[in-house]
Each structure stands twice: as C-alpha cells, then as structure tokens.
Amino acid sequence: MIQAAFWLLTVVFVARLYLVARHNASTAFLGATGVGVVGLFCTGQIVPESTLDALIGGTNWLHLVRNLLVTAAVWLVREGVFSALSTEPETKQRVTRRPLFLAALLLAIVIPFTLQSFVPTTDAFIPETVHQPAVYVYATVYMAVLGGLGLSVLRVSIGPRDSRTVRASATVVGIGMGLMVLGCIDEIIYMSLRFAGFSSSLTDMAYLLFTPFFYSGILLTSLGLGIPPMVRLWRRLALVDRFWILVLHCKFPALKAQGERFAFAVDVLGPRPAERLYTLVIAIGDLRAAGQQAKYSPAAERALVLAQRRLTNTFEPLGLELRKRAEI
C-alpha cells in the first residue's frame, strides 16, 4: 500500500507540474505532492531505510525527516484546499501567518525527538523506543498535528461544489484525510497503551490498524489531488473526439474525395479535434444532401448518430443544427 501511494503520488506530481507550467495552477498542491513523494521515498519502500538513515547518522534521524516532510505536505494540501475551496473571509486573512504556523508545528515535533536516548537504525523505531518519554511525546505530537491538519482539510472539503471535477476531487481528498485522522487516533491509542506498559490483543490490533487507515488515507488524498490535472489532461488530449474522427473516416470513404480538406492524419492528430469532428459531421450531411453518399450502412448510421450525440454534449448550442442537418 505504501508503494502504491508513492507511485500514485509521483504520477500526480508530474501531472501537477504540467498544470503549473502550462496553466499556472496551484503551486501549493504541486509542493504538497512533491514533498509527499520525498516523504514516502523515506519510508524505505524504494531504498532500504537503513541505507538512507546511515547517510544522516544512523540513529533514526530519517524517521524525523520523513515525519517533517509528511507534516509539510499535509500543511500544503491544507493551504491549497483553503485557498481553493474555503468561502470564509477570515481564512483569507490567515494566509500570511501560515508559514510561521508551519514552522511552529515542525519545531514542536523536532524538540522532543532531540531529547531521546538515541538507538541504532531500526525499522520498528516507535514500537521499540516508545517507552522513552521523549519518543512518546515526539510521536504523539506528530500524530496530533497531522490529525488536526487533516480535520481542518476534511471540514472544508466536504460540501456542495459547482464543478463536478472539483466536487469529486474535494470529496476524495476529504475521505482520504478522514482515514488519515483515524490512523492518527489509532496510533496515539497504540502508543499510549505501549507507554503505559499494556501488552494485549487490543494493543496488537491498534498496531495493525494503523497502516490500513493512514496509508489508505494518503492513497485517497493522492488520488483526489490527481483528479483535476488528469481531467484537464484528458480534455486537452480529446481522445474521444479523435476516436470518432477515426471512425467517421473509416465509415464514410467519400470524405477522401474532398482532398486535403479532410486529410486523415490532419483530422485525427491535428489541433482542435472537437472542431474537426463538427466539420466532418456537417460534411457528411452535405454529402448526403448532394447525393454523393450512397445509403448509409447501419454501422455508419449508428456511428454518425453517436458522433452527433458527442458534439451535442460538447457544444450544446450546436445540438439543434446537427439534428436539422441529420434530417436532410
């Protein structure tokens, strides 16, 4: 699950980078996905954790680095969601204070970590060292910070939106943050039980539930952040329009007689495919009206109807004109 979250977030980062470069999209979401990718890389799923930790001392400092990166990523998600979705005036007024707020959160995580009795690199850092008060405070503060940030994102994300794309993205991000908050609560319960010296089936269950809750939340949050850039990229590629252009060229060979005006490669691969599809549909109607196109085969007729329906959905004002021409 952690690897799936890493690779999905990497894809989302690339898509977000494209949006920022071409369409001046939110840099907060780009930063969130970029920092998140680095944070998930530090989990040891790609390169062993011991190898990475050895580069910075070999005493579990990687654990702190990873948690700071995840905290920054969630804060950036919160920044982007608040800027894009929040309608509360006071939210806009808090924008300039947020970087300082993030610095305070990170400092609250760092201080207790530095007060522990350090041990060599271990993949089970929390279970093995949570009996230390400094480690317990460090990990509890980290989980509480993430939970608080996640709750604030959840509160803003869930609600009616005018755009279906924004609504879908916000809902998925909100659900992901909700699962992450559950993971944080579960981890705090687990650490508290271990710190108090309890070792029971409840402790084991709490330990096992953390990964499904927390990382499925990250997975869904990554998916939600990826919805807008993927939708925009899908629309820009216009693969559906290009598909119907290809079908019409195959079903109506009389178009080839029009010469370069309806060149196959230009129509399928050229810019503004929706306009090209519209021109093709109109040309087919004109051919039939002029008697240059023999009776349509059932398959060709069906393809033309579906192409017209596609255009009607894309350009609603053109629907009436297309229906009139189809009746000629």
On whether both 291 and 216 belong to a single domain, the answer is no
- CA dihedral (283, 286, 292, 293) positive or negative: positive
CA pair distance 210, 256, nearest whole angstrom: 62
Write the CATH number for 42. Answer: 1.20.1070
On whether both 116 and 263 belong to a single domain, the answer is no
Choosing from 187, 210, 236, the residue where a domain stops is 236
CA pair distance 221, 157, nearest whole angstrom: 11
Phi/psi at 260 (nearest 5 deg)? -65, -15
Which amino acid type is present at position 108?
Answer: A
CA pair distance 173, 13, nearest whole angstrom: 15
On whether both 183 and 316 belong to a single domain, the answer is no
In 3D space, the residue among 131, 204, 146 whose CA is nearest the CA of residue 179 turns out to be 146
Alpha helices in the chain (DSSP H): 2-23, 27-41, 49-54, 61-85, 89-93, 98-114, 125-129, 133-157, 164-195, 201-237, 239-251, 264-269, 273-289, 298-314, 319-326
Residue 316: give the domain boundaries: 239-326
Count structural domains, the chain: 2
Distance (Å) of CA 183 to CA 13, 53, 88? 24, 25, 28
pLDDT given at position 72:
92
Q: What pTM was estimated for this model as a whole?
A: 0.78
On whether both 222 and 271 belong to a single domain, the answer is no
Q: Token pair for residue 67?
A: 């948690």
Q: Give the number of other CB atoms < 10 A from CB of residue 145.
A: 22
pLDDT given at position 94:
59
Confidence of residue 320 (pLDDT cuts 50, 70, 90): very low
Q: Give the number of other CB atoms < 10 A from CB of residue 312.
A: 16
On whether both 14 and 158 belong to a single domain, the answer is yes
The 10s digit of each residue's pLDDT in 250-303 is 777 766 655 555 566 666 777 777 778 787 778 777 776 666 555 667 777 787
CA pair distance 248, 133, nearest whole angstrom: 71
Least confident of 41-55, 75-89, 108-122, 192-206: 75-89
Choosing from 236, 269, 289, the residue where a domain stops is 236
On whether both 97 and 177 belong to a single domain, the answer is yes
On whether both 202 and 245 belong to a single domain, the answer is no
pLDDT given at position 302:
81
CA pair distance 284, 252, nearest whole angstrom: 8
Confidence of residue 326 (pLDDT cuts 50, 70, 90): very low
Q: How confident is the model over 315-319, as a mean pLDDT? A: 50
Choosing from 236, 266, 301, the residue where a domain stops is 236
Confidence of residue 138 (pLDDT cuts 50, 70, 90): very high
On whether both 73 and 133 belong to a single domain, the answer is yes
Instruction: Tell which wins on pLDDT, 101 or 321.
Output: 101
Confidence of residue 162 (pLDDT cuts 50, 70, 90): confident
On whether both 264 and 221 belong to a single domain, the answer is no
CA pair distance 255, 262, nearest whole angstrom: 6
CA pair distance 136, 190, nearest whole angstrom: 11
Q: Token pair for residue 81?
A: 């969601």
On whether both 154 and 291 belong to a single domain, the answer is no
On whether both 102 and 245 belong to a single domain, the answer is no
The 10s digit of each residue's pLDDT in 227-249 is 888 888 777 777 888 887 788 77
Over 50: is that where the pLDDT of 325 sits? Answer: no
On whether both 273 and 185 belong to a single domain, the answer is no
Confidence of residue 89 (pLDDT cuts 50, 70, 90): low
